[in-house]
Amino acid sequence: MHIIDSHAHVDEYEAFGWFDPPETLIELMDEAGIAQAVVMTYADAPVLKANALQYLYEACRRHSGRLIPYARINPHAGNAESLLREAIVDMGMKGLKIHQESVTAAAHHPSVLRLVKAAAKFSAPILFHTGDESLSLPQQFAKLAQEVPEATVILAHMGGYHHTEDAIGLCEKYDNLLLDTSACPYPHRIAEAIRRIGADRVLFGSDGPGCNPALELRKIRRLELSQSEEQLVLHDNIASILERVRNGGSERGNR
């Protein structure tokens, strides 16, 4: 099976103490049998790392066909929308990543909503961090889900350690929300999510290389899904999301 990891990282960012060049991830992908990975930096452009998009672009260009970039952008930045446009149209990036803790904005913040609407115009998915921290709670996504129903919003980590039920419940309520399995420590809750919202709305993600992609993949395999469910979770769901992205005739795209 052609497996696509929908959530991984490449970056070398001293402030967080994480040095993960693309080769680190590629090696772990090879160990795990993962063909492609959606990747983003740890640092947000342009505030934490001015050249974050260029770094990501170059990393993915070196591993064309293996790595698929999402632009991680601070929505408070005055040029956030133009950066997003540059990332998608000029650099061929396929989505937007927002990490509320590092940009100090919850999902309902006006600047977040503005950038999400901009991404939705390209049909680009928006991957959000979710967890137990005060800016990352799943219930904070209700306003966004209501106000931007056309956006494809992926809730990473399924709500972390203590907000899994909120994440699944919110997806039951809003069709434009999906879940990724990365770092979710509870295999049985992934099975439950598939049962409650459908296998077509749950995406395999590893959050590698810090989280071991092989372990994250074993977590999915432990669920003993049907062949068609596994095909959706490990490939088809993210593949169809990426196919819908409108790059506007990108010249530098990473396809």
Per the structure block, which two tokens stand in for 152? 């494809």
Owner of token pair 């060049």: 21
Give the residue among 202, 199, 158 at the shortest CA–CA distance from 178.
202
Judge contact between 148 and 114, C-beta under 8 A: no
Question: How many degrees, rounded to 5, is the angle at CA 65 between CA 88 and CA 251?
Answer: 40
Query: Of the candidates 212, 236, 239, 250, which one interacts with other proteins according to CB under 8 A?
Result: 212
Taking the complex as a whole, the smallest distance from the CB of residue 182 to other proteins amounts, in Å, to 9
Taking the complex as a whole, the smallest distance from the CB of residue 243 to other proteins amounts, in Å, to 29
Query: Of the candidates 123, 136, 181, 237, which one interacts with other proteins according to CB under 8 A?
Result: 136
Query: Of the candidates 99, 109, 201, 235, which one interacts with other proteins according to CB under 8 A?
Result: 99
Per the structure block, which two tokens stand in for 98? 């927002």
The CA-based dihedral angle spanning residues 243, 246, 248, 254, taken in that order and rounded to the nearest 10 degrees: -40
Stretch that binds other proteins, among 51-59, 65-73, 169-177, 182-190 (CB under 8 A): 182-190
Per CB under 8 A, does 133 bind other proteins?
Answer: yes
Cβ contacts of 203 within 8 Å, gap of 6 or more: 6, 7, 154, 178, 179, 180, 181, 233, 237, 238
User: CA 181, CA 216: separation in Å to the nearest integer?
Assistant: 8
| Total site size for other proteins, rule CB under 8 A | 30
Per CB under 8 A, does 214 bind other proteins?
Answer: yes
Per CB under 8 A, does 222 bind other proteins?
Answer: yes
Taking the complex as a whole, the smallest distance from the CB of residue 220 to other proteins amounts, in Å, to 11
Per CB under 8 A, does 15 bind other proteins?
Answer: no
Taking the complex as a whole, the smallest distance from the CB of residue 133 to other proteins amounts, in Å, to 6
Stretch that binds other proteins, among 50-58, 89-97, 204-212, 227-235 (CB under 8 A): 204-212
Between strands 95-98 and 67-72, the pairing is parallel
Per CB under 8 A, does 66 bind other proteins?
Answer: no
Site residues (vs other proteins, CB under 8 A): 16-18, 99, 101-102, 129, 131-133, 136, 157, 160-162, 183, 185-188, 207, 209-212, 214-215, 218-219, 222
